[in-house]
Every structure is written in C-alpha cells, then in structure tokens.
Structure 1
Amino acid sequence: MCSPAFLMFMATVANLALLVLVTFSTPFIQSLYFLRTDLDGGMSFGVFGFCFDLMQVCSGKELGYVHEPEIIGHLTTVFVLYPVAAGFMVLGAITLIPLMCYPREGGFLFVLFAFLSTFAFLATAAAFAVTVYLFTVAMHRLHAEAFTASYGPSIWIALAATALSLVISLNAGCGTCLGGRFGRQPRHLAYTY
C-alpha cells in the first residue's frame, strides 16, 4: 500500500506543475494566455506581459505591466503570488520527502507541510481571484469598444491549481492524508495481543 505522504507528494508536484505553467504563460509560452483579443491585430495577456499576435512582438517580461485602459495596471503586480505559491509548493514537496521514507518520525514536518500548503492555497486563491476580476473587467471593456475577447487556457489551469491546492491544504490540515488516525489505534499497534 502507498504511503499517504507519497500521495500528497504526487498531488503537490502536480499542483507545482500547474502553477509553473501559469507562471510562465505569455510572453514566455505564447500558447498559454489568460485573455486573447483582436485589439491591435490580436493580443494575448499573461502573467509577465502581453504579446501582439500580428507583429510577433511581446512586451518586456515584468510584473506589473500596464495596457491602459483595458488592463488595470496596478492589479497585475498581484500576479507575483503565482510564483510565490509555486515556491511554497516546492518547499512542501521537500518537506514530504522525509515523511515518505520515515512516516513515524515527522511530527513537526506534518505541521510544517500543513502550514506551507495553506499558505500556497491562500496565495493561489488570491492570485486567481484577482486574475478573474482583472480579465473579466478587461473583457467587458473590450466588448464595449466592439472588440472580441475570450479567456485562454491559463485561466482554467489557474482554476485547477486553486482547486488542487485547496484539496491539498484541507487534507494536510485535517491530517487525513498524512496519517491522522482521529483517535483510532496506530497501525503498528493494531491486532497485537
């Protein structure tokens, strides 16, 4: 049977992969974007900037980019929470490695992983909420100016990362996937007479 820490490790690595994909969306990976519009011959918006489809030119790779009046510039700095959440997931995965090898010896590591996964969820949820707000407002502004706009794959990847992060933090907090027994007898003492 699989160790509960191994299952959490796999979920943490999967969440890390989702957060890395969101973080390195447009302009790094141009097929991953939050919003695409036909403004200026076609534009795609990501975490670190935006790209013009027609000219194959991208903005500088920076947090807090501005494209007024469609994109609210100061809100794009909140996108820093995606790499922060990925960092918490990396630390959480590192915390789980000793727990996979020695599951009975990691009382402090269980608590540390619970805190790291909770912080990762809070960062991911805050970044996702701002992302949805920012690009929904931008979409409405673009539609008001008679341009087409649609969500891209990054917003759905961010939703999946947020949901998986919630599951991980709830499991770590409740202790169900990390060996919490809720008052039952420990496994190594069960059925010994």
Structure 2
Amino acid sequence: MFRWEDCVEGHIILGLTFSLISSILLTLVTFSTPYNKSIYFLRTPNPSIHFGALGYCPSTSECIKRVGYSTGSEVTEWLTRAQVLYAVGAIFMLLALIALLLSLLRVGQFMWNPIYFRTMSLLGFIFSLLAEIFALILWVQARHRYDAEGVRATYGAALWIGLAGVILAFLAACFGGPAFEAKWMYRAHRNVPYNL
C-alpha cells in the first residue's frame, strides 16, 4: 500500500528531489562530449577540441569515444579514466531513488529501513565527489598546460554540472530519505525482552 502521508514529509520530498536531480546531472556529465557536444569539460580554440568524460571531439576528424584518452602532454590519461566514476555515482544515486520509492510502496518487510536509501546516496556522493576531485585536477592542469603553450583553453559546463550533482548527492545523503525510527536501532526483535 502506498504511504501518501509519508510522501508529504519534508525529508521524503527532499530525498526524492535531491536524488532525482543529482542522478540526472551526473548522467548528463557522464554522457557529455562525445555524446552531447554542448556539454564538455574543456575546449581549445585552435585546434578546436571539446573534451568530455568518455572521449573528445576534434574539429578535424570524428569524435573519439574511449574511456581513458590522451591528446599529448596536456591531458593525463589515467585521470581521464577516473571520469567513469561519474557514471558510478549516477548509478548509485538512481539506486537511492529506487530504494526510496520502494520504501514508500512498502515493498518487502524491511524496506522502510532508511539504511538502504542512505547507503546508496552516500556511496553516490562518495563516487561523484571522487570524480569531481579528479576532474578538477585533470582539467585545471590541462588548462594551465594549454595556456603555457599559448592556446587559450576555456572550461565548459560539465565541471559545474558535476559540482551541482555532487552537492545535491551530499544533501540527499544528509537530509533526505525515511526518518530513523527507534525500532531499527536495536539488536533484538521488539517483542523479545532485553535483559543483561
């Protein structure tokens, strides 16, 4: 039975909203350039290259779709491999959203336990935070290297979309989801007397 009265509680609405928007934003960053050319991490004007999470698009040839790529000394290959953590974070935020919806539907005996939503959203936050840290290190270094060569590189929207996804994942893990109830905090069943 659907628990409508639980849906209008603030922490449930916050959990639904934050986890949904975070999973959408992290998915957008995951499928940035070469799949969506308007969302990119870094752009160089001459030669024109858009760098994304799963590849890059030079203006002179076809887009290269690959996890972990290098275009010379400017872009570090192992840091571009770490961009796949955005996809892992998006998957965990989607699982957190599904766990929250299942807890509202009361599917399963223990689905109202808030640990499912909190664990998934916390893992989504950790993976997306790691991806954002690696992205900032990678693209700030790449921009400085391009600037040292006289190429004016500019940041794209993917860095800031990823940062918004990380912040919303953090807010979902902290403030969203079902409330903790005392019956989930004890070791024994509530009908079993607790004697020391």
Q: TM-score, normalised by structure 2?
A: 0.81
- The counterpart of 1:58, out of the listed 60, 63, 66, is 63
Structure with the higher helix share, 1 or 2: 1
The amino acid of 1:154's aligned partner reads: A
Give the percent of matched residue pairs that are identical in Structure 1 and Structure 2.
Answer: 32
- 2:186 corresponds in structure 1 to none
1:150 correspondence with 2:154: yes
- 1:137 corresponds in structure 2 to 141
- The counterpart of 2:89, out of the listed 80, 85, 89, is 85
Structure 1 runs of 4+ aligned residues shifted over 4 Å read 105-108
> Where do residues 37-56 of structure 1 align in structure 2 (5 Å cutoff)?
37-40=44-47, 42-53=48-59, 55=60
1:27 correspondence with 2:31: no
Partner Cα separation in structure 2 for residue 44 and residue 90 of structure 1: 28
Q: CA deviation at 1:109?
A: 3.6
Aligned length: 174
The amino acid of 1:159's aligned partner reads: L
- 2:16 corresponds in structure 1 to 9
Checking the alignment, whether the CA contact within 8 Å between 1:96 and 1:109 is kept in structure 2 is: no
Q: CA deviation at 1:110?
A: 0.8
Checking the alignment, whether the CA contact within 8 Å between 2:103 and 2:111 is kept in structure 1 is: no
Partner Cα separation in structure 2 for residue 110 and residue 180 of structure 1: 6
Q: Which runs of 5+ in 1 are unaligned?
A: 183-193
The amino acid of 2:179's aligned partner reads: G
Q: CA deviation at 1:85?
A: 0.7
Q: CA deviation at 1:107?
A: 6.2
1:92-125 superposed Cα distances (whole Å, 9 cap, x missing partner)? 111011222349x756641011111111111000
Partner Cα separation in structure 2 for residue 39 and residue 134 of structure 1: 20
> Where do residues 101-140 of structure 1 align in structure 2 (5 Å cutoff)?
101-102=105-106, 106=110, 109-140=113-144
The amino acid of 1:78's aligned partner reads: A
Q: Which runs of 5+ in 2 are unaligned?
A: 183-196
> Where do residues 159-170 of structure 1 align in structure 2 (5 Å cutoff)?
159-170=163-174
- SS of the equivalent of 1:30 reads coil
The amino acid of 1:178's aligned partner reads: P
**What is the alpha-carbon root mean square deviation over aligned residues?**
2.1
- 2:179 corresponds in structure 1 to 179
Checking the alignment, whether the CA contact within 8 Å between 1:120 and 1:165 is kept in structure 2 is: yes
- 1:189 corresponds in structure 2 to none
Checking the alignment, whether the CA contact within 8 Å between 2:102 and 2:111 is kept in structure 1 is: no
Q: CA deviation at 1:50?
A: 0.7
